[in-house]
Amino acid sequence: MNSQSHQFIQSLQDGRNVWINGTKIDVTTDENFIGTLRTISGLFNMIDDPLMRNLVSYPSPKTKKFVHSAFLVPHSYGDLLQRRIAFETWSQTTDGVMSRLSDYARSRLTGWYASREDYKKFDAHFPHKMKAYYEEARDKNLFLSVVQRDPQINRANQSFKDINDLGLLRITKKTSDGVFLSGAKMIGTAAPYSNDLIVYPLTNLKEEQKSIAHMLIVAANSPGLHMVCRESFAANQIKKADSPLSTRYDEMDALLIFDDVFVPWERVLLYDNPDALLQIKLNPASNGLAYHQAIVRLLTKLEFVTAIACEVAEAIGADVYLHVQEKIGELLIQVETIRALLIASEREGKLDQYQTFIPNFTYIETARNLGTKYYPRAIELLQLIGAGGFIQIPSSVQDFQSPLSDLLKKYYKGANLDAERRTKLFKLAWDLVGSPLGSRHELYERFYAGDPIRNIANQYNNYDKKRFKQMLEKHLDD
Amino acid sequence: MNSQSHQFIQSLQDGRNVWINGTKIDVTTDENFIGTLRTISGLFNMIDDPLMRNLVSYPSPKTKKFVHSAFLVPHSYGDLLQRRIAFETWSQTTDGVMSRLSDYARSRLTGWYASREDYKKFDAHFPHKMKAYYEEARDKNLFLSVVQRDPQINRANQSFKDINDLGLLRITKKTSDGVFLSGAKMIGTAAPYSNDLIVYPLTNLKEEQKSIAHMLIVAANSPGLHMVCRESFAANQIKKADSPLSTRYDEMDALLIFDDVFVPWERVLLYDNPDALLQIKLNPASNGLAYHQAIVRLLTKLEFVTAIACEVAEAIGADVYLHVQEKIGELLIQVETIRALLIASEREGKLDQYQTFIPNFTYIETARNLGTKYYPRAIELLQLIGAGGFIQIPSSVQDFQSPLSDLLKKYYKGANLDAERRTKLFKLAWDLVGSPLGSRHELYERFYAGDPIRNIANQYNNYDKKRFKQMLEKHLDD
Amino acid sequence: MNSQSHQFIQSLQDGRNVWINGTKIDVTTDENFIGTLRTISGLFNMIDDPLMRNLVSYPSPKTKKFVHSAFLVPHSYGDLLQRRIAFETWSQTTDGVMSRLSDYARSRLTGWYASREDYKKFDAHFPHKMKAYYEEARDKNLFLSVVQRDPQINRANQSFKDINDLGLLRITKKTSDGVFLSGAKMIGTAAPYSNDLIVYPLTNLKEEQKSIAHMLIVAANSPGLHMVCRESFAANQIKKADSPLSTRYDEMDALLIFDDVFVPWERVLLYDNPDALLQIKLNPASNGLAYHQAIVRLLTKLEFVTAIACEVAEAIGADVYLHVQEKIGELLIQVETIRALLIASEREGKLDQYQTFIPNFTYIETARNLGTKYYPRAIELLQLIGAGGFIQIPSSVQDFQSPLSDLLKKYYKGANLDAERRTKLFKLAWDLVGSPLGSRHELYERFYAGDPIRNIANQYNNYDKKRFKQMLEKHLDD
Amino acid sequence: MNSQSHQFIQSLQDGRNVWINGTKIDVTTDENFIGTLRTISGLFNMIDDPLMRNLVSYPSPKTKKFVHSAFLVPHSYGDLLQRRIAFETWSQTTDGVMSRLSDYARSRLTGWYASREDYKKFDAHFPHKMKAYYEEARDKNLFLSVVQRDPQINRANQSFKDINDLGLLRITKKTSDGVFLSGAKMIGTAAPYSNDLIVYPLTNLKEEQKSIAHMLIVAANSPGLHMVCRESFAANQIKKADSPLSTRYDEMDALLIFDDVFVPWERVLLYDNPDALLQIKLNPASNGLAYHQAIVRLLTKLEFVTAIACEVAEAIGADVYLHVQEKIGELLIQVETIRALLIASEREGKLDQYQTFIPNFTYIETARNLGTKYYPRAIELLQLIGAGGFIQIPSSVQDFQSPLSDLLKKYYKGANLDAERRTKLFKLAWDLVGSPLGSRHELYERFYAGDPIRNIANQYNNYDKKRFKQMLEKHLDD
Do the Cβ atoms of D454 and C322 come within 8 Å?
Answer: yes
ipTM: 0.96
pTM to 2 decimals?
A: 0.97
Classified as helix, coil or strand, D342 is: helix
The pLDDT value given to residue B336 = 98
> Rounded to whole angstroms, how far apart are CA atoms A430 and A390?
6
**pLDDT tens digits for range C186-209:** 999 999 999 999 999 998 999 888
Chain D contacts of A387, Cβ < 8 Å? Answer: 443, 446-447
Among D155, D253, D317, whose Cβ lies nearest the Cβ of A155?
D317
Q: Is D333 annotated as a binding residue?
A: no
Mean pLDDT of chain D: 96
**Where does residue C84 rank: exposed (0-12), middle (13-18), buried (19+ CB within 10 A)?**
buried
DSSP string, B316-356: TTGGGSHHHHHHHHHHHHHHHHHHHHHHHHHHT-EE-TTS-
Q: Is D189 annotated as a binding residue?
A: yes
Instruction: Using DSSP, state whether C272 is helix, strand or coil.
Output: coil
pLDDT at position B263: 98
Residues D203 and D168: their CA atoms lie apart, in Å, by 12
Q: How far is B399 from chain C (nearest CA, A)?
A: 4
For residue A434, give how far its alpha carbon lies from the nearest alpha carbon of chain D (Å). Answer: 5
How far B255 CA sits from the closest chain C CA (Å)? 7
Q: Residue range D158-175: average pLDDT?
A: 86
- What pLDDT does A238 receive? 87
CA A108 to chain CA centroid, Å, is 12
- Low pLDDT (below 70) residues in chain A: 1, 157-161, 478
Tell me the mean pLDDT in the region B182-199. 97
Average pLDDT of the residues in D2-27: 95
Helix (H) or strand (E) holding A197: strand A196-199
pLDDT in tens, B15-55: 999 999 999 999 999 999 999 999 999 999 999 999 999 99
pLDDT band (50, 70, 90) for residue B161: low
What is the pLDDT at residue B376? 98
- Mean pLDDT for C414-434 is 97
Which member of D187, D259, D317 has the closest CB to residue A156? D317
Which backbone phi and psi does B351 adopt, to 5 degrees? -75, 135
Beta strand residue intervals within A4-92, DSSP E? 17-20, 23-25, 57-59, 66-68
User: Using 50, 70 and 90 to split pLDDT, how confident is the model at D152?
Assistant: very high
pLDDT in tens, C445-470: 999 999 999 999 999 999 999 999 99
Whether D43 has a pLDDT exceeding 90, the answer reads: yes
Q: Is 80 exceeded by the pLDDT of residue C157?
A: no
Q: In what helix (H) or strand (E) does residue B446 lie, and over which residues does it extend? A: helix B436-447
Q: Which of C439, C441, C445, C456 is the best residue to mutate to test the B interface, defined by the most B CB atoms within 10 Å of its own CB?
A: C439
- Note the pLDDT tens digit of each residue in B231-243: 999 998 888 999 9
Residue A450 backbone zone (phi > 0: left; psi -120 to 50: alpha; other: beta)? left
CA closest to C421 among chain D residues:
D476
Domains in chain B with CATH codes: 4-280 (2.40.110.10), 283-466 (1.20.140.10)
CB contact under 8 A, C460 and D325: yes
Mean pLDDT computed over D169-191: 96
Average pLDDT over residues D119-126: 97
- Reduced to 3 states (helix: H, G, I; strand: E, B; else coil), residue A259 is strand
Tell me, what's the pLDDT at A160? Answer: 52
Residue of chain C nearest B412, judged by CA positions: C153
Distance from CA of B189 to the nearest CA of C (A): 10
Dist. CA A61–CA A128, nearest whole Å = 17
Contact A453 B322 (CB under 8 A): yes
Residues of C in contact with D304 (CB under 8 A): 471
Residue C158 has pLDDT above 80, yes or no: no
Neighboring chain D residues of A232 at a CB cutoff of 8 Å? 395
> What's the DSSP call for residue D314?
H
**CA–CA distance from B157 to each of A152, A293, C196, D453 (Å)?**
58, 50, 58, 21
CA distance D394 to A186: 12
Of all residues in chain D, the one with the smallest CA distance to C426 is: D476
Q: Searching chain C, which residue's CA lies closest to the CA of residue D328?
A: C460
Residue B157 has pLDDT above 80, yes or no: no
Q: CA-to-CA distance for A213 and A273, rounded, in angstroms?
A: 5
Which backbone phi and psi does A36 adopt, to 5 degrees? -70, -40
What would the 3-class secondary structure string for chain C be? CCCHHHHHHHHHCCCCEEEECCEEECCCCCHHHHHHHHHHHHHHHHHHCCCCHHHHEEECCCCCCEEEHHHCCCCCHHHHHHHHHHHHHHHHHCCCCCCCCCHHHHHHHHHHHHCHHHHCCCCCCHHHHHHHHHHHHHHCCCCEEEECECCCCCCCCCCCCCCCCCCCCEEEEECCCEEEEEEEEEEEECHHHCCEEEECCCCCCCHHHHHHCCEEEEECCCCCEEEEECCCCCCCHHHHHCCCCHHHHCCCEEEEEEEEEEEEHHHEEECCCHHHHHHHHCCHHHHHHHHHHHHHHHHHHHHHHHHHHHHHHHHCCHHHCHHHHHHHHHHHHHHHHHHHHHHHHHHCCEECCCCCEECCHHHHHHHHHHHHHHHHHHHHHHHHHHHHHHCCCCCCHHHHHCCCHHHHHHHCCCCCCCHHHHHHHHHHHHHHHCCHHHHHHHHHHHHCCCCHHHHHHHHHHCCCCHHHHHHHHHHHCC
Q: What is the pLDDT of residue B156?
A: 87
pLDDT at position C173 over 80: yes
Residues 6+ apart with CB under 8 A from D138: D60, D67, D71, D106
**Cβ-proximal residues to A152 (8 Å cutoff; 6+ apart), any chain:** A186, D316, D388, D389, D392, D414
pLDDT for B1 beyond 60: no
The type of residue at C170 is R
Look at A414 and D153 and tell me if their CB atoms are within 8 Å.
Answer: yes
Which partners does chain A have (≥3 C-beta pairs < 8 Å)?
B, D
Collapsing DSSP to helix, strand or coil, B215 comes out as strand
The shortest C-alpha distance from A320 to chain D (Å) reads 6
- Name chain B contacts of A424, Cβ cutoff 8 Å: 475-476
Mean pLDDT of C319-347: 97
Q: Mean pLDDT throughout D137-163?
A: 88
Question: Is residue C14 classed exposed, middle or buried when 0-12, 13-18 and 19+ CB atoms within 10 A define those classes?
Answer: exposed
Interchain proximity A415–D229, CB inside 8 Å: no
What was the pLDDT predicted at D159? Answer: 64
| Residue D257 reports pLDDT greater than 90 | yes
Q: Which residues of D touch C363 (CB under 8 A)?
A: 336, 340
Average pLDDT (D203-211) is 89
Chain C to chain D Cβ contacts (< 8 Å)? 159
Asked if D19 and A402 come within 8 Å (Cβ–Cβ), the reply is yes
Angle at the Cα of A115 (from A111 to A116), degrees rounded to 5? 105
Contact C311 D461 (CB under 8 A): no
Distance from CA of A167 to the nearest CA of D (A): 6
* D282 C-beta neighbours (distance < 10 Å), count: 11
Question: Where in C230-321 does DSSP place strands (E)?
Answer: 253-264, 268-270
Q: Which residues of A are annotated as a binding site for FAD?
A: 152-155, 189, 451-454
Q: Chain B residue with minimal CA distance to C259?
A: B407
pLDDT digits over D93-121, tens only? 999 999 888 999 999 999 999 999 999 99
- Binding-site annotation, residues of C: 152-155, 189, 451-454
The pLDDT value recorded for residue B255 is 98
3-state secondary structure of B154: coil
Per-chain mean pLDDT for chain A: 96
Judged by average pLDDT, the poorest of A457-466, B271-280, D152-161, D242-251 is D152-161
Confirm or deny that B163 is annotated as ligand binding: no
Tens-digit pLDDT profile for residues C69-115: 999 999 999 999 999 999 999 999 999 999 888 899 999 999 999 99
User: Which pairs count as long-range contacts for C387-390, CB under 8 Å and 24+ apart, including other chains?
Assistant: C387/B443, C387/B446, C387/B447, C388/B149, C388/B152, C388/B186, C388/B187, C388/B443, C388/B447, C389/B152, C389/C312, C389/C316, C389/C426, C390/B443, C390/C426, C390/C429, C390/C430, C390/C433, C390/C434
Rounded to an integer, what distance in angstroms lies between the CA atom of residue B180 and that of residue B225? 11
Contact B456 A304 (CB under 8 A): no
Interface contact B366-A330, CB threshold 8 A: no
Q: Do D306 and C468 touch (CB under 8 A)?
A: yes
Q: Does the distance separating the beta carbons of B344 and A339 come in below 8 Å?
A: yes
Residue ranges in A140-283 assigned as alpha helix (H): 246-249, 274-281
DSSP label at C366?
Answer: H
Task: Output phi, psi for D229, to 5 deg.
Answer: -85, 150
Flag whether B379 is marked binding: no
SS3 state of residue A215: strand
Number of Cα atoms under 13 Å in the Cβ half of residue D344: 25
- Min CA distance, C224 vs chain D (Å)? 40
| Averaged pLDDT of chain C | 96
**Is C370–D337 a contact, with Cβ atoms under 8 angstroms apart?**
yes
Looking at residue D149, the DSSP 8-state letter turns out to be B
Interface test with B, best of A470, A472, A477 (most B CBs within 10 A): A472
- Chain B residues in contact with A328 by the CB 8 A cut-off are 460
| Angle (deg, nearest 10), helices C284-315 and D466-476 | 80
- Angstrom CA distances, D59 to A370, C242, D40, D62, stand at 60, 66, 21, 8
With an 8 Å Cβ cutoff, are A184 and D411 in contact? yes
Q: pLDDT tens-digit profile of B342-394?
A: 999 999 999 999 999 999 999 999 999 999 999 999 999 999 999 999 999 99
Q: Which residue of D lies nearest to C342 if distances are taken between CA atoms?
A: D340
| Å between A143 CA and nearest CA of chain D | 21
Is D153 annotated as contributing to ligand binding? yes
